Amino acid sequence: MGYAEIVSAMVADLAGPGEPGLAVGVYEQGDLVFTASAGEACVEFGVPVDARTRFDIASASKQFTAAAALLLARDGKLDLDEGIHVHLPELSLPVPVTVRQCLQHTAGLPEWYSLVTVAGIPLYACSEERLVELFTGLRTLNYQPGTAFSYSNTGYVLTAAVIRRITGQSLNEFATERIFRPLGMNDTLFRDDVTAVLPRFAPGYNSDKGLVRADTVESAVGDGGLVTSVSDLAPWFGFLADGRVLGADLRDQLVENTAFKYSFGIYPIRIGELDGFGHAGGVPGYRSQLIYVPSAGIGVSLLSNQSRHDPVAIAAKVARIVTGQPQPVVDATPGDAEALAGHWFNEITDAAVEIELSDGGIRFQGEEFTHRADGVWRDESATELWLADGRLMMGTELIPARQITMVRREPATGARLPEGSFRNAEIGATLTIADGRLVTTGQPSLPLTPVSADAWQAGPLVTLYLEGGDLLLSSHGVRRMRFTPQEK
């Protein structure tokens, strides 16, 4: 185990005394063969992180939700290609959306985190029941189901609700009975009651502006909410290795590739020259990454209670060390930074971004990028930027199938949105434009900045359009939701 000293030293450098921490696990054919940890599970009481510390693993939870749905399908109780309205008849979706589409992010469902922000619903009120109630009014999708890919947590919350309707059990109860208990994962559960006391559970922290608590407060699960430890994940990596206990058929279905390069809660990952799969997770206070490399029989987990840790970069580095793959070469070369600098626009998501010049390179979303010999600009987490036919391409060497395309679009000057209130009846939300700012219920007002002749940006994640007197809103996972003007 020649990698032990290297990985231990690397992990130790990432967190020290008085800092939130992290734990790393390495698995061979489903056996936990190495762990490294650093920092503290509870900073207030100086409790160190170890292999049995339990973390919220956020979106890495999705593979367990998908496995639960696949078990029900194998039982003959759930048809993955049947509309979810069969089990949730209160939904008003304009066309059928299937469980398969929900699990593979091809349903076109608007992102619930954005919806509750716009509707002024606090996260602590976001239970499964409350979110299904919110979704009941939805009649507009981002696109025709099955025709595109857009990552959406909404489909996984709805899948959890479908499982409850079919079985009469919560996702946690069903997964405990059919997945965790059979595998011997006795410290793993879906945390659908955030008030419950969990032994060895690490609270979350954020240190962007001084160290503060950043605990998970929503009780809706399925899209996230799984609590586990690097020690308790060992049986799951055994299942990913050969399908033990739960069945090789279930394992094979879980990890199959799709046309849009996302399977059931798992996506392909490239570790050097080796193909793997896994999933990352991130919510305020927690970061995670699970990776399995079948040809090497190696699994890696990284769990953290610190928002600033980059789980994708750290876990990939560990996976390369353990599998003997070389780390990416830092071969900075001169590059035409001016060609990338400026304003860019994603015509699929309506996101507007800016690339700035910096000493020796470019800065994008707060990260420094360096030009490499292959003509691509990269940051430390392996995010890549390059130009192709005048368009800006963004991707990552770890997930080569997932790329974003942006076009250059310079901001307009002098244009202003008309003042007034606009309402969307589907989610019961009202937007107000006043004094050049956007006001939404329960949220701080945001200044409006023109990003093109017909679009305005409010904060980093909201883009507004004016169409026929209506206001169209795009945000993370929400595509041009229509708000109609209200009479004064």
Query: Where does the pLDDT of residue 330 fall: very low under 50, low under 70, confident under 90, or very high at 90 and above?
Result: low
Average pLDDT over residues 89-101: 96
Which pair of tokens denotes residue 447? 């200044």
Instruction: Work out the average pLDDT over 70-79.
Output: 98
What is the average pLDDT across 119-143?
A: 95
> What pLDDT, on the 0 to 100 scale, is given for residue 66?
98
Q: Is the pLDDT of residue 257 over 80?
A: no
294 close to 216: Cβ distance less than 8 angstroms: no
Helix extents (H) in 85-144: 99-103, 112-119, 128-135
| For residue 153, pLDDT beyond 90 | yes
Q: Could you give the CA distance from residue 388 to residue 264 in angstroms, rounded to a whole number? A: 31
pLDDT digits (tens, 9 = 90+) for 348-380: 788 888 899 988 789 988 888 888 877 888 887
pLDDT-based confidence at 113, cuts 50/70/90? very high
Q: In this structure, what token pair is assigned to residue 337?
A: 């930074």
Beta bridge partners of 31: 28
d(CA 286, CA 303) in angstroms, rounded, equals 8
Domains annotated for the chain, with CATH where assigned, are 58-108+143-323 (3.40.710.10), 337-408 (2.40.128.50), 420-485 (2.40.128.50)
pLDDT class of 157 with cuts at 50, 70, 90:
very high
* Position 413 confidence tier, pLDDT thresholds 50, 70, 90: low
Cβ–Cβ < 8 Å for 432, 438? yes
pLDDT grade, residue 454 (50/70/90)?
confident
Do 52 and 35 contact (CB within 8 A), yes or no? no
Q: What is the mean pLDDT of residues 436-440?
A: 91
Q: Compute the radius of gyration of the chain from its Cα atoms.
A: 23
pLDDT in tens, 202-253: 999 998 878 999 999 999 999 999 999 999 999 999 999 999 999 999 999 9
Q: What percent of the chain clears pLDDT 90, i.e. is strictly above it?
A: 71
pLDDT band at 193 (very low <50, low <70, confident <90, very high): very high
User: Distance between CA atoms of 102 and 84, rounded to whole angstroms?
Assistant: 9
Beta strand ranges found along 409-454 (DSSP E): 420-424, 429-434, 437-440, 446-452
CA distance 151 to 348: 13
Q: At residue 346, does pLDDT exceed 80? A: yes
Question: Residue 305: which of 206, 233, 200 has the closest Cα?
Answer: 206
Residue keyed to tokens 């390495």: 26
Strand ranges (E), 252-389: 267-271, 274-283, 286-293, 298-304, 342-345, 352-358, 361-364, 367-371, 377-378, 383-388
Q: What is the pLDDT of residue 397?
A: 67
Contacts of 382 by beta carbon, 8 Å cutoff, 6+ apart: 312, 313, 316, 328, 396, 397, 398
Share of the chain above pLDDT 70, in %: 96
Question: Which residues does 8 contact at the CB level (< 8 Å), separation at least 6?
Answer: 36
Whether the Cβ atoms of residue 126 and residue 111 lie closer than 8 Å to each other: no
pLDDT of residue 72 exceeding 80: yes
Tell me: pLDDT of 401 over 70. Answer: no
Q: How far apart are CA 59 and CA 225, in angstroms?
A: 8
Q: Residue 397: name the closest of 303, 304, 329, 446 by CA.
A: 329
Confirm if 92 and 130 have CB atoms less than 8 A apart.
Answer: no
Confidence band, pLDDT 50/70/90 cuts, at residue 107: very high
CA distances 27 to 12, 46, 232, 291, Å, are 20, 28, 11, 10
* DSSP annotation of 208: B
Q: What is the pLDDT of residues 464-483, one digit of tens each?
A: 988 888 999 999 899 999 99
Q: What is the mean pLDDT of the chain?
A: 92
Mean pLDDT of 401-415: 77
Mean pLDDT of 297-301: 97
Q: Which DSSP symbol is given to 85?
A: G
List Cα–Cα distances, 284 to 59, 213, 377, in angstroms.
Answer: 12, 9, 28
pLDDT at 194: 94
* pTM for the structure as a whole: 0.94
Would the pLDDT of 415 be above 80?
no
User: What is the crossing angle of helices 154-167 and 62-74, to 10°?
Assistant: 40
